[in-house]
Amino acid sequence: MKKFLLALLILSFSMISVASSCTNTQDENTTQEEVTQISQKQGKAKMNENFSDSVTYFGKNILTDVYKNKNTVVSPLSLHLAFDMLYNGAEGITEKEMKSTLGYPVNMDKKAISEKSKEVMDFLKSNDSITIEIANSLWAKKNFSIKQTFVEKSKEYFYAEVKNEISKTLMNNWVSEKTHKKIKKIVDRADNIDVALLNAIYFNGTWVKTFNKENTKDQDFTTIANKKIKVPMMYKFENMPYYENENYQMVKLDYKGRMASMYVFLPKENKSIDDFIKNFSQEEFLNASDNLDRAKVELYLPKFKTECSFGLTKTIEKLGMKSAFGSGADFSGIARGLFISQVIHKTYIDVNESGTEAAAVTGIMMTKSAMPRPVPTKHMKIDRPFFFVIADTRTYTPIFMGAITKPEYK
C-alpha cells in the first residue's frame, strides 16, 4: 500500500510532451521475482482508494483544462492537500461544491477527509530511500480573526504552520525554503490578501539503475506540431516492468528503495496525447500497474527540465466550485465574508540520468468581502402637509415643485 501511495506522488507530477527512455549503470541486489511482485501489486492498494481516486480525478481535470499543447506539469497532491485543508472551513453550498469538485464520495465527511490527508502525508514522508517533504501553512493578516477550530484542525491534520502576518516577502521566503529554492515566489503582492493557505511539496529520488551519461545523445523528437527537434535522449536496454495495449506503451522506472516510481506513458503513433489526457483515470492507471510484466526493453527517454505556473481561479470555478469565488462563498468555518480571490499553482521538475528532482506549490488566497451595511427600518406616514419636487435626474433641474397641505383627488 505504501508503494502505491508513493507511486501516486510521482504520478502527481503529470508529465506532458515527453517521450520514453532510461539507462543503467548501478544495480541493487533485488531478484527479478521480487521486482515483479512489487510491480504487479502497485494497483491493489485499497486502504486509501477514496483519497487516491479523488486526487487523480481532481488533478486530471485540472491538467485537462490547463494543457495547451505545451509542456505541462501539475501536482494533484499539492492541489488536493491545499483544498482539503480549506474544506474544513467550508459550509453550505460551498461545502457541497468543493466535495463534488474534489471527487470525494458523498458519504465521506470532513473528519474522514482530513484523517486520510494526514495518513497519506505520514506514509509519503516515512520513506527514507528518497526525499519527500510536504509542508502546509495558514496565513492571516494581523488582527484578522480566524475561528480557532479551523486553526486547530489545520495544525492537527495538516501539520500547518500558522502565521499571524501576511507579506509578500514572508510568503515567498517560505515557498523558497520548502521547495529547496526550486520555486522562489508564489505572490507578487500581498496587500489584497486577508487569509492564505499554502502547500509545498519537494521530491528528490535517485534511479535504482541510473542512466549512463555516455549513452545520452542528441536525437530527433517530433513535437505536437509534427516538427522534428533535437533533444538529449537517454538510453538503456534491459529487463524492466512494462505494459502495452492498443492505445499506449508504459514503462515503470524505480527510484532507490523501490517505494517510488515514475510511470511513463507513450501513446501509440496513431493516438493523440490530448485524447490520452482526457481518457486517463485512476482506474486506467491501476489496470496498467496490475498488468505490468517483465520485458527486455530498449528505452529512449528525453532528459527534461521544466517550470510551470498557473492561475487556476477560472479552471476550478469551471470544474464546479462556483460559489467559492464570489460573495456567495460560505467559509464561515474560517471567518464570515471570506471568498477565494486567487488560486496559484507552480511546479518544477528535472529528470536526468541520476534521477528526478521536483517541487510544487499551491496557494489559495482569500479576501474578505465588504459586509453589507444593515438596512435600518424607518417609519414614514405622510399624514400632514408635505412638499415635493419633480426633477430631471440627469441635471437635477426641478420640473415641478409644490407643497400639499390638503390632498384632494376628484
Domain boundaries, the chain: 2-207+304-368
Locate the DSSP E strands across 245-275.
248-254, 261-267
Task: Spell out the alpha helix ranges (H) of 2-75.
Answer: 2-12, 32-40, 49-66
Check: CATH 3.30.200.20 for 2-207+304-368?
A: no
142/163 Cα distance (integer angstroms): 9
Name the residue with cell 512489487.
38
Element (H, E) at 81: helix 76-87
Classify burial at 88, counting beta carbons within 10 Å of its beta carbon; exposed 0-12, middle 13-18, buried 19 or more. buried
Tell me, what's the pLDDT at 280?
86
Q: Is 247 helix (H, G, I), strand (E, B) or coil?
A: coil
pLDDT, tens digit, 9 for 90 and up, residues 140-166: 999 899 999 999 999 999 999 999 999
- Predicted pLDDT of residue 22: 29
Concatenated DSSP letters of 305-362:
EEEEEEE-HHHHHHTT--GGGSTT---TTT-TTEEEEEEEEEEEEEE-SSEEEEEEEE
Give the 3-state secondary structure of 191-242: CCCCEEEEEEEEEEEEECCCCCHHHCEEEEEECCCCCEEEEEEEEEEEEEEE
Residue with cell 489545520: 154
The predicted pLDDT at position 262 comes to 86
Is the Cα torsion angle 102, 104, 106, 112 positive or negative in sign?
Answer: negative
Low-confidence ranges of the chain (pLDDT < 70): 1-49, 370-410
